[in-house]
Amino acid sequence: MEMNGRSKSSLKFADDILQRGRQTALNNNYNYDEHTNIIKSLVDPKHELCDQEIREEIFSMIMAGQDTTTLIVSNTLLMPAIHKDVQLKVV
């Protein structure tokens, strides 16, 4: 399957996150504290995840964030459209 420009840039973005997570984890000797993030956990060797699996987890998180943002924005625009009295107060 041939990748388009958007797919290539998404792959590069995920790879950048993966590499930064690995570097951060290595610098901290995989020590966990209250600031441990999900990427640091994913790159931990004890989880034995390959790069493709970690990349898929990163994509899942990005897509979940986009879905949430879309829902919030659409509802923020919908509610004043339904409630004209509130719309007049907001505008």
Mean pLDDT of 48-76: 86
Quote the pLDDT of residue 32.
63
Indicate the pTM of the whole model: 0.58
Rg (CA), the chain: 20
Q: Report the chain's mean pLDDT, rounded to a whole number.
A: 80
User: Contact, 71 vs 48, CB < 8 A?
Assistant: no
Give dist(CA 23, CA 39) in Å, integer: 11
Report whether pLDDT(74) > 90. yes
Q: Tens of pLDDT along 21-52?
A: 888 777 776 666 655 577 777 887 777 888 88
Quote the pLDDT of residue 34.
56
Report whether pLDDT(59) > 60. yes
